Structure 1
Amino acid sequence: MGQEAIPKKMKALVLTESKKLVYKDVIIPKIGDNEVLVKVKACGICGSDIDRVENGGVHFLPIIIGHEFSGIVVGTGSLVKNISLGDHVTAAPLIPCNKCENCLNGHPAMCNDYSFIGSRENGAMAEYVSVPAENILKIPENMDFARAACIEPLTVAIHGIERAGLLHSGSTAVVYGCGTIGMFVLQCLKIKGIEKVYVIDIDENKLNLAQKIGAYKVINSSQVDVVKYFCEQGKADYVFETAGVNILQAQILSLVKKNGSVVYVGTAQKDVLIPAKVFELILRGELKITGSWMSYSSPFPGKEWLAAIEYLESGKIVVDDIITHKFSLKAGHKAFETMLDKNQKTLKVMYLINK
């Protein structure tokens, strides 16, 4: 086992009850033979973290959340190979069982008995986090840690696009929802050679950014009847719903061409009610509809993670404008309050740790 000199305790944001994040000293996690201790440098706030903090959507309390992170390896278990002290890394937060049928068939995201860093076990809104060695991915030493903490949400976007199948040049695509994932889906579609990407949202600030980073056209759905617009202008070959809004999840079926593809990336927050005439479009148009769950493939954690690191390293993906707010870990719940304040114009909010 290798380990640099580290203290016995660390600072962490501990969720003790709904809306209560406590900045406090806790014991630094121990690592097993096949685990790595990471000194966290940056940790992003995911939309799922909002539900955990604001609505108590956790598996147990108290808990340290946070799964979008990067940092430096400061400890390695006795059986860990190919990972060294001082490596700059990020980590896949899913911990599959590697025993169930889905894992053995190369579908770790479908694992029947998985764990998850920052959800089912303590996460990275802390100075240190323990991670299975197989989850660790090295990043270039010159990569900014805040940018590297965007790798996990970027992999979600890449996986969603992979679920659409082969993308044909000259096609058109719609990205409905202009949050962090939507911004990454837009950019990844451009990388894949889809030039005509329409982005839809109701937030003018986000739409302006989408335009800046390459959207073919942006549409404010609070001002434009999007179904009428695409019926008149021509429907899209691919449609991606990233907002997780039930009305939109029904509506996007009306925006895609016959034989087109619909990918649901956003998690449903309410029941999705599809009118009969809209549902019939699935049958008459023989639409290809799929869901996209997390961001993993085989061999674990998957090609999405390698691609995300490559995209960031090459500069193909813009993240600086997407990271709108940065906080120290000590700021605690203020970072979440900022995310929920519509006047703050937030996209990705990030904790910077161990600066």
Structure 2
Amino acid sequence: MEMMKALVIEGVHELIYKDIPVPELQDDEVLVKVRACGICGSDIPRAKDGGVHSYPIVIGHEFSGNIVKIGNQVKNFKEGERVTAAPLIPCHSCENCSKGRPAMCTHYSFIGSRQNGAMAQYVAVPSRNIVQITDKVTYEQAACIEPITVAIHGIERIAHLQSGKTAIVYGCGTIGILTMQCLKAKGIECVYVIDIEDEKLELAKKMGAYKTINSSEIDVPMYFEKHGKVDYVFETAGVNILQSQVLSLVKKTGSVVYIGTAHHDVTIPSKIFELILRGELNVTGSWMSYSAPFPGNEWKAAMEYLQSGKIRVDEMITHKFHLSAGYRAFKAMLDKRQNSLKVMYVMD
């Protein structure tokens, strides 16, 4: 039996670098040799708190690499191709899948969550999930395609996004900075970015934010009452207080998109909630990054944005580790003194 190195979660704080069998391929799958794998914020509770569906599990869903083996029924790919992959594995037969809404699938699997992922030397992927990458895009850059698609999908939850409008991105993590860049790529130049960490705000400014605001120093609602509310607000931080506050920052008939996951109960004061009614606000959530035909135009657009330079990610990759570093990479994300943004395992 052929073996490979992988990071395996076997319990709370038990992220073990060990040998496990190389995945056996189904007929419709390809085997990808992983070159780079980013750590998503959703991976932290999986590794830190045991927030997994089952043990043991290999996590990691932001990855790139090259195909080293193909299943018997795979015709459209060949060995050696440079690729990334959409981690969602929808059933393709439920009501939502049949209507072109794969992210709403009720019988899905997910690479790096419900089945073994890419914090390993090799990962098995359905061929229909594979997205080819060009030689102009590095493996590290390509490992950022999945979070880019999350940002694109969030923006496109606004049906008639118009250039020349104004926007706020609340939260300056990976998804926040990518959302800001994607808005600019779609012609919205006036994008405010709000956070409490000056280092991240400085990076957002460097990468094109119209204005950055440290919300620990400025009363944000008062600022926009004085300077004018915006057309669109994107909440990417997943902070319950902000998830209420953002409703007060948007113009009447404006749009609010929730991208960040809620970790605590969200309480909305009646006066804030009434703004939805009186302003006829468009309030929506954004879940993952998929559309039809699967995996969706988000994935094509992310590749094009990277290749054209409209989206930059090199400055966002603040820490790189070999896979054998194990939990040290997660500690870099959790230690605020390290000013981490995107932390990545690089296999070579």
Match of 1:74 among 68, 74, 94: 68
> Structure 2 matches for 1:224-239, cutoff 5 A?
224-239=218-233
Measure, in 1, the Cα distance between the counterparts of 2:44 and 2:244. 24
| TM-score, length basis structure 2 | 0.99
CA apart distance, 1:141: 2.5
Measure, in 2, the Cα distance between the counterparts of 1:263 and 1:114. 24
AA aligned opposite 1:205:
E
| TM-score, length basis structure 1 | 0.97
Instruction: Report the counterpart of residue 4 of structure 1 in structure 2.
Output: none
CA apart distance, 1:229: 0.4
Match of 1:172 among 152, 166, 176: 166
AA aligned opposite 2:141:
R
Q: Does 1:245 align with 2:254?
A: no
CA apart distance, 1:45: 0.1
Deviations 1:237-267 (A, max 9, x none): 0000000000000000000000000000000
Match of 1:261 among 251, 255, 279: 255
> Structure 2 matches for 1:166-205, cutoff 5 A?
166-205=160-199
Deviations 1:125-173 (A, max 9, x none): 0000000000001001232101100000000000000001222222100
4+ residue segments displaced more than 4 Å: none
Describe the SS at the equivalent of 2:191.
Answer: strand
Q: Does 1:38 align with 2:32?
A: yes
AA aligned opposite 2:28:
N
> Structure 2 matches for 1:62-211, cutoff 5 A?
62-211=56-205
Deviations 1:159-217 (A, max 9, x none): 00000122222210000000000000000000111110000000000000000011110
Number of paired residues?
348
AA aligned opposite 1:262:
V
Q: Which deviates further from its counterpart, 141-150 or 241-250?
A: 141-150
Deviations 1:257-298 (A, max 9, x none): 000000000000000000000000000000000000000000
Describe the SS at the equivalent of 2:150.
Answer: helix
Measure, in 2, the Cα distance between the counterparts of 1:343 and 1:218. 21
AA aligned opposite 1:108:
P
Q: Does 1:270 align with 2:264?
A: yes
AA aligned opposite 1:313:
Q
Measure, in 2, the Cα distance between the counterparts of 1:254 and 1:271. 19
Q: Percent identity?
A: 66
AA aligned opposite 2:143:
A
Measure, in 1, the Cα distance between the counterparts of 2:190 and 2:6. 44
> Structure 2 matches for 1:306-325, cutoff 5 A?
306-325=300-319
Stretches of structure 1 lacking an aligned partner (at least 5 in a row): 1-6
Instruction: Report the counterpart of residue 24 of structure 1 in structure 2.
Output: 18
Q: Does 1:287 align with 2:281?
A: yes
AA aligned opposite 1:204:
D
AA aligned opposite 1:312:
L
CA apart distance, 1:308: 0.2
Q: Does 1:299 align with 2:293?
A: yes
Instruction: Report the counterpart of residue 3 of structure 1 in structure 2.
Output: none
AA aligned opposite 2:18:
K
Describe the SS at the equivalent of 2:257.
Answer: strand
Measure, in 2, the Cα distance between the counterparts of 1:344 and 1:234. 35
